[in-house]
């Protein structure tokens, strides 16, 4: 089982009445709520925390792409990845991922990921994403019925650009390039590729056909995800796909502390900040043609199937920041408490959902840096080592060999130093 | 009006047709085909009306064949050609107005007179259009109608017997609309309007919150031969909210 450090780069200084003002937290959020100097300080904090995660035993450092939102101020994951590739040694650089339709031409993705793989010594995981409706069709203006086609065309171009030994011409529907011959190229002969999704059947077919790692990057936890993830594995099985848990990633908010009471005291405000300040304007949640009708129907079925475990009113209360700390925990939104408790709950989660790649959100909302640092340390040193037995009998082809070896070597060295 | 299916190349399209008189092609707006609408029946009293449902709308096929606007206009050129009536009058509403103007640009020999009703296709920077894909239902209704209580008078090509839900029908329609209207419903028509020579009538609903009547000034500047008319008491659907005024304007113009 692998563990990756992640945080949404959420702007932490929104006004206290932000939620009550009913602004959309995506697309048209007024910029005058933010201070670019503080944004810079925030970026430095995330870089420090991820450098620490690299030392504390995490398998990967996850960076993502969102646009026009204080919820996740990472317009290019490759920029943050560049800061990490040159200042960390062990963990994979998990780019999860570049929104392929938004790079023009998409060979820029091929080049930048190749650059990052070179700088990091072969530690890049290439994540390809469609982008949320807010990102890809509203902020970046892609016509929703064209988005998937653009994604697939770009994916074909990028993967070919990494491997085709000679210059080639690419005459696509959306991209015409007379000479494709990227410099640099990745160190890894075959970059691990991850594609996250929220239940679209077309994405399931893609990851099964290509044997990519699928990711369900929700922040709503076990109960919310279970019907969809179960349906996913059933679908993989039916289609004769690879059932290896290492090709399934899942995000989970984690709040670790010396005692359960301390966890509540240190994290509750930040958890509420994280959920209640991410209020997407309802007009921006969906766009016609972004999801096929076939997938819409399947996704509606999953929501219906989990109504017993997570009622619609629970979802609304969670989003409004109206749950108690331990109710967030009970409903699966967070996993909180002592390392012993967190260990056990992560084990249950990973086993129940058949997950081999956990993307832990170790910082959320406006959490203090020192708390996030403690969270990172406790999770890295007192949770991860106790869960290494999970899925240990199955090979992991979806993280880089270099990071696997270096993380294992560092863990061994730490163990020996402690003895 | 009777419905039928018309196969043209790889497009299989639902068509409402009827009436007798000079031929009129009606191209519907971005939301849906109006089906057997009272205003179409009224036009059919003095014209032979053909009202196809755009490829990609309802049960009309061929959406995957449309890479861009040109593919659709070539489809309509073929459709009018195969109708065999020579030049026809073309009425285009909303997004259909954009298509009608493009058709008149690309195939001037097939378009006798042109009527553009609440047409999309132009964009004025300091008068940005509302985003119909983002407005929530109450705001959308307020923008679309002069009097939202008239919404019940709007007819639809939705046919529950075809097995689709109303929600899916709308999603299918708006997906096709998004192809041509996203993110800004200006696909270069203004550059091409100098090639449009057909006599043109431009109709706006005075209270249209989706395509404001003030856009008629841009049409008038681009098309010196055009007549512009604003219908009071109507929004984006003047043929529904002011059916009488609408049909007499159109009939007077077409002759």
> Residue ranges of chain B with pLDDT lower than 50?
none
Provide the pLDDT for residue A301: 83
Partners of residue B172 in chain A, C-beta under 8 Å: 293
Distance from the first to the final alpha carbon of chain A? 25
Provide the pLDDT for residue B187: 97
Partners of residue A138 in chain B, C-beta under 8 Å: 134, 183
Q: Is the pLDDT of residue A308 over 80?
A: no
Q: Which residue of A has its CA nearest to B170?
A: A288
Provide the pLDDT for residue A304: 80
State the nearest Cα–Cα gap between B60 and chain A, in angstroms: 16
Cβ distance of A144 and B177 shorter than 8 Å:
no
Cβ(B55)–Cβ(B11) below 8 Å: yes
Cβ distance of A173 and B67 shorter than 8 Å:
yes
DSSP per-residue codes, chain B: -EEEEEEETTEEEEEEEE--SEEEEEE--SS----S-HHHHHHHTTEEEEEEPPTTSTT---GGG-SSHHHHHHHHHHHHHHHTSSSEEEEEETHHHHHHHHHHHH-GGGEEEEEEES--S---TTSPPP-TTTS-HHHHHHHH-SSGGGGGG------GGGS--HHHHHHHHHHHHHHHHSS-S-SSHHHHGGG--S-EEEEEETT-SSS-GGGHHHHHHH-TT-EEEEETT-SS-HHHHTHHHHHHHHHHHH-
Provide the pLDDT for residue A295: 86
Confidence of residue A212 (pLDDT cuts 50, 70, 90): very high
Mean pLDDT of chain A, nearest integer: 96
Partners of residue B171 in chain A, C-beta under 8 Å: 288-289, 293, 296
The matching CATH number, chosen from 3.40.50.300, 3.40.50.10090, 3.40.50.1820, 3.30.70.790, for B2-254 is 3.40.50.1820
pLDDT digits (tens, 9 = 90+) for A317-369: 999 999 999 999 999 999 999 999 999 999 999 999 999 999 999 999 999 99
Of A282, A276, A31, A8, the closest CA to residue A133 belongs to A282
Q: Which residue of A has its CA nearest to B174?
A: A288
Q: Is the pLDDT of residue A300 over 90?
A: no
Helices (H), A277-338: 293-305, 312-319, 325-330
Provide the pLDDT for residue A307: 75
Is A282 within 8 Å of chain B by CB? yes
Give the CB-side neighbour count of residue A306, counting CA atoms within 13 A. 24
Provide the pLDDT for residue A294: 86
The stretch A84-112 carries a mean pLDDT of: 98
The stretch A212-229 carries a mean pLDDT of: 92
The stretch A361-383 carries a mean pLDDT of: 98
Provide the pLDDT for residue A309: 78
Q: Is the pLDDT of residue A292 over 90?
A: no
Confidence of residue A419 (pLDDT cuts 50, 70, 90): confident
pLDDT digits (tens, 9 = 90+) for A267-279: 999 999 999 999 9
Of A296, A74, A311, A62, the closest CA to residue A201 belongs to A296
Q: Is the pLDDT of residue A370 over 90?
A: yes
Provide the pLDDT for residue A82: 98
Cβ(A399)–Cβ(A79) below 8 Å: no
Distances (CA, A) of B25 to A72, A109, A194, A286, B66: 50, 47, 50, 34, 20
Confidence of residue A165 (pLDDT cuts 50, 70, 90): very high
Partners of residue B173 in chain A, C-beta under 8 Å: 288
Of A66, A349, A357, A391, the closest CA to residue A224 belongs to A349
Q: Is the pLDDT of residue A112 over 80?
A: yes
Sheet holding B47-52, edge to edge: B2-8, B11-18, B47-52, B22-27, B88-93, B111-117, B200-205, B227-231
Partners of residue A139 in chain B, C-beta under 8 Å: none
Cβ distance of B178 and A143 shorter than 8 Å:
yes
Q: Is the pLDDT of residue A77 over 90?
A: yes
Is B135 within 8 Å of chain A by CB? yes
Interface test with A, best of B183, B184, B186 (most A CBs within 10 A): B183
Angle, alpha carbons A390-A391-A395 (nearest 5°)? 140
Within 8 A by CB and 6+ apart from B97, the residues are B27, B29, B116, B117, B118, B119, B120, B121
Distances (CA, A) of A348 to A229, A271, A341, A382: 14, 22, 11, 17
Q: Is the pLDDT of residue A306 over 80?
A: no
pLDDT digits (tens, 9 = 90+) for A50-76: 999 999 999 999 999 999 999 999 999
Provide ipTM, 2 decimals. 0.93
Domain ranges of chain B: 2-254
Cβ distance of B171 and A288 shorter than 8 Å:
yes
Provide the pLDDT for residue A14: 97
Partners of residue B63 in chain A, C-beta under 8 Å: 145
pLDDT digits (tens, 9 = 90+) for B113-134: 999 999 999 999 999 999 999 9
């Amino acid at each position: 089982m692998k563990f990756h450090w992640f945080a949404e780069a959420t702007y932490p200084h929104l006004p206290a009445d932000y939620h009550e003002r009913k602004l959309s937290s995506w697309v048209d959020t007024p910029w005058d709520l933010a201070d670019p100097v503080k944004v810079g300080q925030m970026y430095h904090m995330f870089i420090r925390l991820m450098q620490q995660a690299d030392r504390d035993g995490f398998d990967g450092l996850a960076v993502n792409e969102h646009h026009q939102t204080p919820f996740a101020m990472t317009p290019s994951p490759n920029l943050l990845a560049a800061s990490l590739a040159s200042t960390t040694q062990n963990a994979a650089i998990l780019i999860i991922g570049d929104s392929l339709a938004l790079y023009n031409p998409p060979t820029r993705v091929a080049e930048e990921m190749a650059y990052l793989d070179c700088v990091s010594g072969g530690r890049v995981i290439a994540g390809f994403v469609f982008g949320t409706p807010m990102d890809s069709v509203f902020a970046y203006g892609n016509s929703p019925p064209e988005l998937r086609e653009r994604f697939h065309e770009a994916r074909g171009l990028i993967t070919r650009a990494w491997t085709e030994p000679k210059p080639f011409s690419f005459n696509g529907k959306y991209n015409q390039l007379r000479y494709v011959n990227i410099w640099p190229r990745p160190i890894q002969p075959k970059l691990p590729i991850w594609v996250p999704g929220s239940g679209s059947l077309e994405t399931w077919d893609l990851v099964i056909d290509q044997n990519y790692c699928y990711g369900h990057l929700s922040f709503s936890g076990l109960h919310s995800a279970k019907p969809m993830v179960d349906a996913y594995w059933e679908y993989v099985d039916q289609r004769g796909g690879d059932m290896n848990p290492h090709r399934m990633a899942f995000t989970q908010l984690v709040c670790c502390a010396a005692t359960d009471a301390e966890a509540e005291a240190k994290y509750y405000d930040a958890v509420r900040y994280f959920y209640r300040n991410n209020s997407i304007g309802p007009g921006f949640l969906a766009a016609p043609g972004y999801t096929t009708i076939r997938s819409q129907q399947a996704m509606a079925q999953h929501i219906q199937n989990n109504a017993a475990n997570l009622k619609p009113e629970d979802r609304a209360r969670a989003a409004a920041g109206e749950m108690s700390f331990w109710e967030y925990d009970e409903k699966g939104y967070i996993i909180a408490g002592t390392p012993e408790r967190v260990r056990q709950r992560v084990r249950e989660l990973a086993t129940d959902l058949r997950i081999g790649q956990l993307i832990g959100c170790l910082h959320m909302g406006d959490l203090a840096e020192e708390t996030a640092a403690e969270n990172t340390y406790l999770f890295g040193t007192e949770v991860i080592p106790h869960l290494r037995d999970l899925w240990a009998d199955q090979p992991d082809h979806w993280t880089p060999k270099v990071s696997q070896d270096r993380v294992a070597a560092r863990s061994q060295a730490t163990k020996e130093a402690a003895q | 009006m009777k419905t039928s299916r018309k196969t043209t190349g790889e497009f299989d399209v639902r068509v409402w047709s009827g009436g007798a008189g000079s031929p009129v092609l009606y191209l519907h707006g971005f939301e849906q085909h109006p089906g057997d609408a009272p205003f179409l029946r009224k036009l059919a009293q003095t014209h032979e009306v053909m009202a196809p449902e755009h490829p990609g709308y309802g049960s009309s096929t061929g959406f995957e064949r449309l890479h861009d606007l040109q593919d659709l206009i070539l489809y309509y050129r073929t459709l009018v050609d195969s109708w065999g009536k020579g030049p026809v009058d073309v009425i285009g509403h909303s997004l259909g107005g954009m298509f009608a103007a493009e058709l008149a640009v690309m195939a001037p020999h097939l378009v006798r007179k042109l009527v553009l009703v609440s047409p999309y296709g132009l964009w004025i920077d300091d008068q940005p259009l509302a985003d119909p894909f983002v407005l929530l239902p109450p705001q959308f209704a307020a923008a679309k109608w002069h009097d939202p209580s008239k919404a019940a008078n709007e007819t639809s090509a939705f046919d529950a017997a075809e097995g689709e839900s109303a929600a899916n029908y709308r999603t299918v329609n708006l997906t096709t609309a998004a192809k041509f209207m996203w993110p800004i419903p200006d696909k270069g028509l203004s550059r091409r309007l100098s090639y449009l020579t057909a006599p043109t009538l431009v109709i706006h609903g005075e209270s249209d919150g989706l395509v404001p009547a003030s856009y008629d000034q841009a049409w008038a500047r681009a098309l010196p031969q055009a007549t512009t008319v604003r219908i009071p008491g109507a929004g984006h659907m003047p043929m529904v909210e002011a059916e009488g005024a609408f049909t007499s304007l159109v009939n007077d113009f077409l002759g």
